[in-house]
């Protein structure tokens, strides 16, 4: 009988020791995550300037959504690619710039919010629209299989179109 208690005590002690050896939960490096988002924002800006629709669409998660004024939401990279390709054909000389003003990373390290401002110029088939169209944007990023992807992206005009 004493042997059973000794065995049970030994098993319990072993379980406590093994539980203490389990790895500590991973604490995300929020600075590194912000750096990663900023690098992706630069890649996206380059794609905007080069009118690279495929790179822009590839930034989105499979269920990622892009919102544009007067348009139904675009869901998924293929819908976003089609929209961006039409935009390139309709406004081939457009110049689109964006500047990130803020990035906030969730403590979990798997969600981020990016906010900023942008401008569109040289719209129209020949770039004849000389007005500067100012926008504000908000992009929500999420981790998908360890990679940052756009979950939602919305740009709104910050001044009326003329």
The answer to whether residue 128 sits within a structural domain is yes
Task: Round to whole Å and give the CA distance between 3 and 96.
Answer: 78
The answer to whether residue 15 sits within a structural domain is no
pTM of the model: 0.78
The answer to whether residue 43 sits within a structural domain is yes
Task: Round to whole Å and give the CA distance between 77 and 83.
Answer: 10
Please report, for the domain that includes residue 79, its CATH number: 3.10.450.50
Q: What is the pLDDT of residues 109-131, one digit of tens each?
A: 999 999 999 887 766 666 666 77
The answer to whether residue 5 sits within a structural domain is no
Task: Round to whole Å and give the CA distance between 38 and 4.
Answer: 61
Task: Count how many domains the chain has.
Answer: 1
The answer to whether residue 36 sits within a structural domain is yes
Asked whether the predicted pLDDT for residue 12 surpasses 60, the reply is no
Which among 151, 134, 138 has a CA at the least distance from the CA of 100? 138
Task: Round to whole Å and give the CA distance between 71 and 5.
Answer: 72
- CB distance 156 to 135 below 8 Å: yes
The answer to whether residue 54 sits within a structural domain is yes
The answer to whether residue 50 sits within a structural domain is yes
The answer to whether residue 44 sits within a structural domain is yes
Q: What is the pLDDT of residue 54?
A: 95
Q: What is the pLDDT of residue 21?
A: 55
- The H or E element spanning position 13 is helix 2-20
Domain that holds residue 132: 29-157
């Amino acid at each position: 009988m004493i042997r059973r208690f000794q065995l049970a005590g030994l098993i319990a002690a072993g379980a406590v020791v093994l539980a203490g050896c389990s790895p500590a939960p991973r604490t995300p490096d929020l600075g590194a995550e912000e750096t990663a988002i900023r690098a992706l924002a630069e890649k996206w800006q380059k794609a905007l300037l080069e009118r690279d629709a495929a790179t822009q669409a590839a930034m989105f998660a499979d269920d990622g959504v892009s919102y544009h004024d007067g348009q139904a939401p675009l869901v998924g990279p293929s819908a976003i690619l089609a929209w961006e390709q039409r935009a390139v054909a309709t406004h081939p000389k457009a110049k689109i710039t964006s500047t990130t003003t803020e990035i906030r990373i969730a403590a979990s390290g798997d969600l981020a919010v990016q906010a900023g401002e942008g401008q569109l110029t040289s719209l129209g088939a020949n770039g004849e629209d000389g007005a500067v169209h100012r926008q504000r944007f908000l992009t929500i990023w999420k981790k998908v299989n360890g990679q940052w992807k756009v979950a939602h992206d919305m740009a709104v005009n910050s001044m009326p179109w003329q």
